[in-house]
Amino acid sequence: MAKGRGNGAVLYVRVSTDEQANGPLNLSNQEKRCSDYCVARDFPVLEVFVDRGESARSKHRPEFQRMLAYCRAHRHKVGYVIVQDLSRFARNNQDQAEAIADLEQNGILLRSTYESNIDETAAGKLAANFLGGMNQFFSDSLSERMKDRTYQAVLAGRFPWRAPVGYQNIKCREGANIVPDEERAPLIRKAFELMATGRYRKAEVLKIVTDDGLTTMRGKPLTPQTFQAVLRNPLYAGWIVLRNYEDFEPVRGLHVSITTQQTFDCVQAILDGRKPSIVPKRKFNPSFPLKCLLRCAACDTPLTGGFCKGRNKSYGRYWCRNHSCLAVKLPSEQLEAEFMDLLRRLRPEPDDVAKFTKIAAKVWAEKEGNSEKEIRRLSIRLREQKDLKHKLLLAMLGGAVQETDYAEANERFDAEIAVIEQELRFIGSRRGTQQSFVQFAEVLLMDIALAYQLANPECRQRVQNLLFEDGLDYSPEVGILNRSKTSLFSMLETIKSENNLLASPTGFEPVLSP
C-alpha cells in the first residue's frame, strides 16, 4: 500500500434493469463477490453504493456520482473502489477514463474482481482501456440492435417500452403487449373526456382525477408535467410513434385505445388553442385577487402582488409595479382587510335593494334572449354539419369519394359536431331561473362582504367588476379610494325613472348561481 493511502474499500454494484436484479448478475451476488474480494485482502468495507436500473452508458447515475463524492470527501480513509467487473463501472470509455483519473487524483485505485490485471501499471492501464473499449463496443452494438428491434416492433403495432400510466405491460409473443390498467385506465379516459368539454382547466381536471385515485405505478400523484404528457400522447387513442425518426408516420397499434380519436383530437385542439376553451382564461391570481382592481394613487399604476420569503415562511405582499414610484408596499393581509371593511360599509337603503332587483330582472331577460339566439344559431350549424356528413357518406358509397378521403373528411365533421354539441351543453348548463338570479342579486346587496367571502375566485372577480367598474385607488396616507364613476351604488343613487332601470351592470351575468 502506498504511503498516505487509506486501506478502506468502497463497493459499487449496478444493474441496468429491474429484470437483471433477479438474474445471475444480480445485486446481492455482485455485493457478495466484492465483499469476498475485500476479505481475502483484508480491506475493511466502508460503504456500499447500489445503482438499481441505471445504464452505464452515462456517468450521471445517482449512486455512481454519490460514490465519487464520498471518495473525495474520505480520501484519507478510502484506498480502493471495488467492482465486480469494469462493465459494472462504465460502458463508455471516456467516462471510465475520467472516473479512474478522478479517483487516482485522490489516491484511490479501482479494482475488479473478475479482471485482476487491472492496476496502476502501464500494462494494467492498457488492459483497462482495452476492456473499456470492448464494453463500449458491446453497449453500442446492443443499442443498434435494440433500435432496429424497436423499429420493427413499432411497425408491427407493438409498444416496445415500459407502459405509461393507464396501461400495463404483458408478456406476449404475438398481438398487443400492453393492456389497459383496470384501475387507472377509466380515470385516464375521464381526464380526456373532461378536457374535451372545454369547461375545465388542465389543473382542475388533474385535481379531479387525482382525488378519484389516479396515481403512477409507484402510487404517487401525477405531476402537471406528466399529466401534460398523458394528454399529448397519441398512444391513448391507439397510435404508436417513433419520435427520434424523421418522416416516421404513426402506426395503428394492436393495443386497445383508452380514449376515442374524436376525443383525443378535441383535446389537442384545446391544448393548441385551435379550439377556444369554453372556460374563460384566468386573468388574475386567486392568491392576490386585488391585483386587477387597485391602482397606486400616486402614479396610477396597477398594483401587483407576490410572496416574499421570510425566515420560516413566505408572506404575501402587494406593491406598486412602477419601479420609479413604489409608493404602495404593504402586506396582503392588511390590504385585503381594508377592502373587506369597505365592503362592509357598502349597505344600500331598502328602497335601493328593491330597485336593484328590477335591474337584475331586466338584465336576466336580456341575457336569456341572447342565449336563445345563440342556441338557435348553434342548432342551425349543427344541422348543417350533420347534413354535410350524411352527403359525404352517400358520395363515398356512390364511388365519388375514396375511402381515405372520406375518413379524413368524416373526422373533421365529427370534431366540428362535437365542438358545437359541447357549446350547446354549456349554454344549457348555465341557464337557471330568473327567480334564483334575482334572489342572488338581493342577497348580494344585503351583505356584500359575506357574499364576497363565500364566493369562489371567479365569482369574486365578477363582484369586484360589478361594484367598482373603474377600479379602486390606494394611498398609503388615506387607504382605499373609490375611483369608480359608475359603480353600483352611484348608479342606484341616480335612478330617477323607470327608463333608468334598463341599465345593465357590467360584469354581472346569469352564469352566477345563487
Gap between the Cα atoms of 309 and 389, Å rounded:
59
pTM of the model: 0.44
219 and 75 belong to one structural domain: no
Expressed in percent and rounded to 5, the helix, strand and coil fractions of the chain are 50, 15, 35
256 and 128 belong to one structural domain: no
412 and 323 belong to one structural domain: no
pLDDT for 505 equals: 41
In contact, 137 and 131? CB cutoff 8 Å? no
Model confidence over 67-76: pLDDT tens digits?
999 999 999 9
Start-to-end CA span in the chain (Å) = 84
199 and 92 belong to one structural domain: no
Is 247 a domain residue? yes
262 and 354 belong to one structural domain: no
251 SS3 class: strand
pLDDT for 187 equals: 95
Gap between the Cα atoms of 22 and 7, Å rounded:
32
Question: Judging by beta carbons within 10 Å of its beta carbon (0-12, 13-18, 19+), is residue 398 exposed, middle or buried?
Answer: exposed
Average pLDDT, integer, range 266-273: 87
Using 50, 70 and 90 to split pLDDT, how confident is the model at 491?
very low
430 and 463 belong to one structural domain: yes
Gap between the Cα atoms of 464 and 279, Å rounded:
19
Nearest partner of 344 among 487, 453, 499, judged by Cα = 453
132 and 224 belong to one structural domain: no
| Structural domain of 177 | 167-272
Q: Report the alpha-carbon angle 456-459-461, nearest 5.
A: 110
Model confidence over 183-224: pLDDT tens digits?
999 999 999 999 998 888 899 999 999 999 999 988 999 999
Model confidence over 446-457: pLDDT tens digits?
677 777 777 777
492 and 463 belong to one structural domain: yes
488 and 387 belong to one structural domain: yes
Using 50, 70 and 90 to split pLDDT, how confident is the model at 32?
very high
Average pLDDT, integer, range 291-318: 84
Counting the structural domains of the chain, the total is 4
Question: Judging by beta carbons within 10 Å of its beta carbon (0-12, 13-18, 19+), is residue 100 exposed, middle or buried?
Answer: buried
Beta bridge partners of 288: 285
Helix residue spans in 278-319 (DSSP H): none
Gap between the Cα atoms of 162 and 19, Å rounded:
13
Is 319 a domain residue? yes
Using 50, 70 and 90 to split pLDDT, how confident is the model at 308?
confident
Model confidence over 372-406: pLDDT tens digits?
777 888 889 889 989 988 888 888 888 888 888 88
Domain of residue 33, CATH code: 3.40.50.1390
Is 283 a domain residue? no
Can you tell me which residue has the cell 456500499?
A: 48
302 SS3 class: strand
494 and 387 belong to one structural domain: yes
Helix residue spans in 348-402 (DSSP H): 350-397
Question: Dihedral of CA 327/332/337/343: which sign?
Answer: positive
Is 482 a domain residue? yes
pLDDT(484) > 80: no
The larger pLDDT score, comparing residue 294 to residue 466, is at 294
Is 513 a domain residue? no
Is 121 a domain residue? yes
Nearest partner of 12 among 33, 42, 39, judged by Cα = 33
In contact, 377 and 370? CB cutoff 8 Å? no
Looking only at the bridges linking them, the beta strands covering 78-83 and 8-15 are parallel
Domain of residue 195, CATH code: 3.90.1750.20
Is 51 a domain residue? yes
For the chain, what is the total number of helices (H) and then of strands (E)?
A: 16, 14
pLDDT(499) > 50: no
Is 312 a domain residue? yes
Model confidence over 136-163: pLDDT tens digits?
887 777 767 767 777 788 888 889 888 9
25 and 132 belong to one structural domain: yes
Long-range contacts at 485-493 (CB < 8 A, ≥ 24 apart): 488/356, 489/346, 489/348, 489/352, 492/348, 492/352, 492/355, 492/356, 493/352
218 and 134 belong to one structural domain: no
